[in-house]
Amino acid sequence: MTTTEQARPSRLKAITAETKQLSFWAENAAPIGLVVLVIVFSILSPTFLTLGNIKAMLVAAAILVILAIGQAFVITTGGIDLSISATMTFGAIGFGLAFSNGAGFWLSALIAIVAAMLIGLINGLLIAKGKVTDFIATLGTLSVATGLALIVSNGKPISVNSPELLTLTSGSLGIFGYPIILAAIIAVGAWFFMFRTRFGLHVQAVGGNEESAVANGISATKIRMAVYLISAALAGVAALLLVARVGAAEPAINTQYLLNSIAAVVLGGVSLTGGKAKIVGPVIGALLLTALTNGLTLLGVSQFYQPLAVGLVVVLAALLTRFQKK
Amino acid sequence: MTDNYNFVPAAPHTGTTPARDFILKATDIKKSFGGVHALKGASMTMRRGEITALIGDNGAGKSTMVRCLSGIHRPDSGTIWLDGDDVTFETPNAARERGIETVHQNLALVEDLSVWQNFFLGREKTHGLGPFRTLDRKLMKSTAGDLLKNLAVNVPPVTSKVRRLSGGQRQAVAIARAAGWGSKIVIMDEPTAALGVQETARVEGVINTLRDSGVAVLLISHNFDQVMRLSDHVWVMRAGTAVAERRTLETDGDELVSLITGAKAA
């Protein structure tokens, strides 16, 4: 009995001692930031913590959560996918074209994902086989995918009237809309793949030290191909949510999604140099960025200030990650 | 000490020792890179349960020899006999499958992964079927822990990241990993080059333990004291060939130096 009484305060002490170190804040920047934002916004705006608003926020966060997970796989290998939002747009246009030409929902959805993965395949071939720098390769495919989307859609939005998409975007279980449930399922699957399978371990190994990974018989080429395909496939899934949300497939550029997907990963404590995998962190990072935008809107802050706020948060988070424990 | 141990052949291996005592024989290995003849018909042997040292000046061909044995390079000509079988390795993995593991100078560890993850990297144990195969973390952690404990005195916890380990601990992890696959031969390239005095002593302890467990060790080292302390047998390379072999007990640092420089004929 005495031992448990002694153990408890010492454990509490250990936690409080940890909070005095900068690295504690750096490791947990995203959850702490999210809690702080929720507290501040709920004080400033009575509607922020209402069930209706929470539900709306979660639905709005779904696309970013899915993109951030895809981006997290790429960034864990030390790469970056700048084409992720353009790939999503390309997938969305693929869906719109297929659907307006009489393909059903499921076939159109499949076409959207395949179209997106085509961009991922190009990224993978360029980076893994062609040894082109990830930054340049995906910058190129960002432009290519955007251009292709404009060309095949003739620059016009394709309106989509699908009852399945309507269910996807408006259906819910309690306060959890279908989009965030889909995102949650993807997050659980991604966590499982990253931390419980050989593939995930190899992704981390290639990002951590490619030379050592290869010396142990891992094919860095295959792993790199795979992460860009995963990122693109998830962009394809996000495309479905995007079309459902807008009610049309638009050849828009969606730069905000690209920047926020990278920002969410950085907020989640993943180092851009690779090797340190996190899934929960980027998911919380995506929720945080959505909460930030939502809160500012509720407070009536001009739209112009939102990119500024997002930018400040990301730069702050990047500064904090410097103090992470090695 | 049996009689044939006292026999020092005038030329590289003459076949006096019964073949079964050799776990490895490399005969007349040649390897060129463009116009550079790195190995000009080098021959050497390794005996069962012994530490064999390979010494020589820079550019004598030690590294190329080791790379041929570990499957990184394919010899242009010559034969490698492992346990009486004619083997020539196409890839490092092929060499590993036959029981030859190499601890490279850079150790091939991933610093951001834990000790047990590094231990099984590329050869993970899984359970389940097909796409639902999951890592058998429990088995891998306990196996890595046991192998390390058997080999090293100062064992790091298997869940700690390699980044947090000292140089000697990293070396111990790399050696234990190489030894942990039922290997017949472990090749070590300058295992203590980057270590301090205490850490060197610990790693030498690890190498001795490995030998005592029956694994043949090929030690590449520039450190004569270390060679004298650890090895049972020494091969000297000069200018692309193995010029001499000695029982460690019957030689000394001075003789080895003169063999390396060529001041003394083999």
CATH number of the domain where residue A107 is located? 1.10.3470
State whether B135 and A198 contact (CB < 8 Å). Answer: yes
In-domain check, residue A7: no
Backbone angles phi, psi at B243, to 5 degrees: -95, -25
Tokens of A103: 């393909």
**Closest CB to B108 among A196, A197, A216:** A216
Q: What total of structural domains would you count in chain A?
A: 1
Please count the other Cβ atoms lying within 10 Å of the Cβ belonging to residue A257: 22
- Smallest CA-to-CA distance from A127 within A53, A50, A221, A29 is with A221
Q: Can you give the pTM of this predicted structure?
A: 0.85
Determine, for residues B110 and A209 on separate chains, whether the beta-carbon distance falls below 8 Å. yes
Contact (CB<8Å) A216/B112: no
DSSP secondary structure string for all residues of A102-169:
T--HHHHHHHHHHHHHHHHHHHHIIIIIS---HHHHHHHHHHHHHHHHHHHHTTS-EE---HHHHHHH
Q: Which residues of A touch B108 (CB under 8 A)?
A: 211-212, 215-216
Range of the domain at A57: 28-321
N- to C-terminal Cα distance for chain B? Answer: 23
Instruction: Locate all alpha helices (DSSP H) within chain B, ordered by sequence.
Output: 3-6, 62-69, 92-97, 115-119, 137-151, 167-179, 197-212, 224-230, 253-261
Residue A19 inside a domain? The answer is: no
State the Cα–Cα distance between residues B231 and A51, nearest whole angstrom: 74
Compute the distance between CA of residue A300 and CA of residue A43 in angstroms, rounded to an integer. 15
Residue listed under structure tokens 């390396």: B260
Question: Are the beta carbons of A82 and A200 closer than 8 angstroms?
Answer: no
Using the CB atoms, write b or e for B14-37: b if 16+ within 10 Å: eeebeeeebbbbbbebbbeeeeeb
Residue of A nearest to B70 (CA): A215
> pLDDT value at position A207?
96
Q: How far is A250 from chain B (nearest CA, A)?
A: 36
Q: Does A150 touch chain B (CB under 8 A)?
A: no
Closest Cβ–Cβ partner in A211, A217, A275 for B122 = A217
HSE toward the beta carbon, residue B225, CA cutoff 13 A: 6
User: For residues A273 and A278, what is the distance between their CA atoms, to the nearest angstrom?
Assistant: 13
CA distance A263 to A257: 10
Among the partner-chain residues B92, B112, B133, the one whose CB lies closest to the CB of A208 is B112
Task: Please tell me which residue of chain B has the smallest CA distance to A216.
Answer: B122
> Residue A8 domain-assigned?
no
- Whole-complex ipTM: 0.83
B139 contacts on A by Cβ (under 8 Å):
none
In a domain, residue A22? The reply is no
Are A216 and B111 within 8 A, CB to CB?
no
Annotate B52-113 with DSSP letters as a single string: EEEEE-TTSSHHHHHHHHTTSS--SEEEEEETTEEE--SSHHHHHHTTEEEE-TTTT--TTS
- Give Cβ neighbours of residue B105 (< 8 Å, ≥ 6 apart): B189, B190, B193
**Number of Cα atoms under 13 Å in the Cβ half of residue B210:** 36
Sketch the domain layout of chain B as residue ranges: 3-112+184-261
Helices H / strands E in chain A, number of each: 15, 4
Could you tell me which chain B residue has the CA closest to the CA of A220? B122
pLDDT of B265? 73
Using DSSP, how many helices (H) and how many strands (E) does chain B show? 9, 12
Per-residue pLDDT of chain B (266 residues; tens, 9 = 90+): 334 444 444 444 444 455 558 999 999 999 999 889 999 999 999 999 999 999 998 888 998 999 899 888 889 999 999 988 888 888 888 888 888 998 988 888 999 999 999 999 988 999 888 767 899 999 999 999 988 887 776 788 999 999 999 888 898 899 888 888 878 999 998 888 888 888 888 889 889 988 998 899 999 998 889 999 999 999 999 999 999 999 999 998 889 989 998 887 76
Which class for B162: exposed (0-12), middle (13-18), buried (19 or more C-beta within 10 A)?
buried
Residues of B in contact with A203 (CB under 8 A): none
Binding-site residues on chain B for chain A (CB distance < 8 A): 92-93, 104, 106-113, 117, 121-124, 126, 133-135, 137, 163-164
**Residues A125/A145/A89/A259 CA torsion (nearest 10 deg):** 80
* pLDDT means over runs of 10, chain A (326 residues): 50 72 78 91 93 93 97 96 97 96 94 97 96 96 96 93 90 91 97 95 96 89 97 97 93 88 90 91 95 92 88 83 70
CA-based radius of gyration for chain A: 21
Supply angle C-alpha A208, A23, A67, rounded to 5. Answer: 55
Of the candidates B108, B113, B137, which has its C-beta nearest A215's C-beta? B108
Look at A201 and B104 and tell me if their CB atoms are within 8 Å.
Answer: no
Q: Are A247 and A54 in contact (CB under 8 A)?
A: no
Q: Among B116, B115, B205, B200, which Cα is nearest to B164's?
A: B115
- pLDDT recorded at residue A2: 41
Dihedral sign (CA A133, A138, A143, A148): positive
Q: Please list, residue by residue across B238-266, b when 16 or more beta carbons sit within 10 angstroms of its beta carbon and e when fewer do.
A: bebbbbbbbbbeebeeebbeebbeeeeeb
> Which residues, in sequence order, are bridge partners of residue B216?
B185
Regarding the domain delimited by B3-112+184-261, which CATH topology (the fold level of the hierarchy) does it fall under? Rossmann fold (3.40.50)
Closest CA to A78 of A210, A239, A269: A210
pLDDT of residue A277: 93
Tell me if A212 and B112 make a contact (CB, 8 A cut-off): no
- Quick one: pLDDT at residue A289? 94
pLDDT at B89: 82
pLDDT, residue B6, reads: 40
Rg of chain B over all Cα atoms, to the nearest angstrom: 19
